[in-house]
Chain A
C-alpha cells in the first residue's frame, strides 16, 4: 500500500520541490544563481559601457559628417595635454571638488557630533529628517533657487547690502557654494554613523585619565571618526567632479562635465578621452581612501 502511494506521488512532485532538491547541498549553485543577475548587470551594463567609452577615446571623428571612425590613435589625449585650456578646466574641477569636500567636512562634523553624542533621541530623529529632507526635493529646483539667491538683485545681495559688501555673483565661487550645499547630507550621514559607533565609555575613560576635551577630541574621537570623514568625502568629491548642470546655471566657467557634455554629440572620442581624467583622479582618490580605512564605514 505504502509503496503504491510513493509511486503514485512521485510524478506529482511540484516544480518548486524539484528545484529545492536541485539546490540542496550545492552551495556553489546557490550562490551562483543568486549572484548571476546582479553580476551580469555589473559586468555588461556597467563595466561594459565603461569599456566602450574608453575604447572610444582612441577613435577619431570625421569632420565632414561628424561620424566616428574607428581607427586607433592617441590624438585626443595629445589634444588634452597640449591645449592649455583642458588643463585649466581639469585643475579647476579638481580644485572646486577639493574645496567642496573640505567645506562639507568642516560643516558636517559639528552637526554630526551633536546628532550622535549630544542630542536627545527625539531631537536626533528630527535632525536626521532635517538633514535628509533636501534630498527629497528635485535637484534643479535647488539649483534654480540658488541662481535666484545669487543673482544681482537676489536675496544674498539684499542681505549683504547694509554691510556695504557684494555677494560673489555667478562664477566659480558660486559653484563652490551651491555644490557645498547640495552634497552636505552625503557628508553628514557617514560621519554621524561613524561617531555613533564610538562608545561613550571611551570618552569617559579619556576624561578620567585627565585629558582635556580638546585632547579627547584630537587623540580619541578624530582618529576613530576619520575613516567616516574619508567615506563622506568620496561622495562629495566624486559628485562635484561629475556635475555639469550647476556650473552652467551659476557660472560661465567650464568644468570637466561641461566639456564632456558639449563634445558628446559631435566629438564623442574627445569627450571619452576627457572623461578618463575624473576616472583616473577617482582611482587615485579611492586608493588613498582605502589606505585610510574608509571602506570599513561605507
Chain B
C-alpha cells in the first residue's frame, strides 16, 4: 500500500463507481406505471408494411402456411417462439412485436396493462364463421370490446402407463385423491406451473360441491386454500413436476413416471415411439369425468405494433379455413374456424402438411361440439375481481406464492 499524502487511487475509483451506480439507480426509478386499457381500434387495413414480428407458441407459425401468407401478402414473418405465458407477457412488453398468440392466462394481463389494442372484427372477414362458443369469452372480450381473434383450443389430458395403471382411470382421483394417489407414490407427473392449482379446483368442484366452486380461476380464499391443501397432499406422491415437454417424455419413457396430466403433444410422441401409454378415450370425451383445464388461444395486436396492416392480414389469414386446418393438425388442437372442418379443407390441409388424411379430425377433437367444451375450463388469469361484483378472489400473485409453498 502506498501513501503519498494524496487521495488514495482506490478510494477515487470507489467514489467514481458509487457515483455512477447512484446515477443508474436514479435512472431505474423512472416513471411510475398505472393500469389502463388501450382503446385505439383500427378503422381500416391498408397496404402491408412488408414485415411482421410475432410471438407464438411452438408450431403456430410454421410451414406451409407461413410461406403461403408471405406470398399472398408480401409480409415477411419473423417469429419468436415463447415457452410460457409469462414469457409471452414479458416479450410483448418490449414493444418490439406486432402480435401474440396469447393463452387465456396471459390475455387479461396484456389488456389491463394496455399492451394490446382492441381488434376491429369487421376488418377480419373470416371472424364471422369462427365457432360461436369461442366468441365473446372472458379471455378475449373485455366489457364488450374484442381484443383478439380465436385461434384454436385444447384440453390438458390425463395420460397413464397401461402396464402399470390398471384399470384405466376415469377420474382425476387417480392422481389427486390422497388415498388412490398413494398407490402410485413417486410415479405421478404434475404440471410445474401455478396455473396447475386450477386442476385441483376442477377436481374439488366435482368432489366437494359444498365449497361452491364455479370457475376454477375465480377462487375465494377458502376455495383456494382447499385446492392448495389438496396439492400439498399430492406433493409426496409426485415423481416429477414437468415444465417442458421433453422432461415429461423422458420420465414416462424411462418408467420414472406412470400417470399424470399432459398435453396432446407428449401423448402422441410417446404413443408414436411405441411406449405403452393411454389417455382418456373419445367415448369419455378425451378427458376424465370431472372435466379438465384447457387452453383457448387468441391472436392479439400490440398497441405499439410497427406493422399493424400486416398483423390484421395475419389475423384474418390464420383463421382462414385451410391455414387454420393446417395449424390445428400440426399442433394437435381443435381449430377455431368452423369451415376448417369441411372434409375437403381437412384433406387439402393434411396433404399440404404431409400428414395422413383424417376427415374425422374435427370430430375427434370435438371442434364443433359445444357440450364437450363446457367441461373444459380454459386457462384464465386469476384476478381479485371474481366476476360477480365481489373482489375477494385470490389474484395471480397469490397463486404464484402458493405454488412456491406447495413445492416447498
Contacts and interface: CB of A to CB of B under 8 A. Distances in A.
Interface stretch (B54-62, B249-257, B259-267): B249-257
A52 B24 contact: yes
A68 B405 CA distance: 23
A237 B400 CA distance: 28
A64 B408 contact: no
Contact of A262 (B30, B35, B403): B403
Given A51-B25, A170-B256, A248-B243, A66 B396 contact: yes
B400 A266 contact: yes
A33 to B, nearest CB: 15
Interface stretch (A98-106, A196-204, A251-259, A284-292): A251-259
Q: Interface SS of chain B: helix, strand, loop or mixed?
A: helix
A48 B24 contact: yes
Interface residues of A, number: 48
Contacts of A39: 13
B29 A47 contact: no
Contacts of A153: 254-256
Contacts of B256: 151-153, 170
A43 B403 contact: no
Interface in A29-49: 39, 42-44, 47-48
A152 B35 contact: no
Interface string A42-70: 11100110011001100001111111111
B250 A147 contact: yes
B397 A44 contact: no
A65 B108 CA distance: 8
A71 B20 contact: no
A276 interface: no
Given A44-B24, A47-B21, A254 B404 contact: yes
Contacts of A147: 250
Given A265-B86, A265-B90, A67 B384 contact: no
B89 interface: yes
A67 B113 CA distance: 7
Contacts of B29: 55, 70
Nearest to B111: A65
Given A44-B20, A64-B384, A71 B396 contact: no
Contact of A267 (B16, B33, B241, B400): B400
Instruction: Sort chain B's interface into a size bin.
Output: 35 or more
A40 to B, nearest CB: 9
A169 B186 contact: yes
B89 A148 contact: no
A212 interface: no
A266 B35 contact: no
Contact of B400 (A71, A85, A263): A263
A274 B34 CA distance: 25
Given A66-B89, A252-B241, A267 B397 contact: yes
B408 A253 contact: yes
Contacts of B238: 252
Nearest to A58: B29
A67 B35 contact: yes
A83 interface: yes
Nearest to B399: A266
Contacts of B17: 42-43, 47
B363 interface: no
A55 to B, nearest CB: 5
Nearest to A42: B17
A73 interface: no
A55 B255 contact: no
A66 B251 CA distance: 33
Interface in B1-22: 13, 16-17, 20-21
Contact of B404 (A55, A64, A70, A85): A85
A204 B402 CA distance: 63
15 contacts: A44-B24, A47-B17, A48-B24, A52-B25, A63-B395, A64-B35, A65-B109, A66-B113, A85-B405, A153-B255, A169-B186, A170-B240, A252-B235, A254-B404, A265-B89
Interface of B: 13, 16-17, 20-21, 24-25, 28-30, 32-33, 35, 84, 86-87, 89-90, 93, 109, 112-113, 186, 192, 235, 238-241, 243, 247, 250-251, 254-256, 383-384, 395-397, 400-401, 403-405, 407-408
**9 shortest interchain CB distances as A-B pairs:** A265-B86, A65-B113, A63-B395, A48-B24, A151-B254, A52-B28, A65-B112, A65-B35, A51-B21
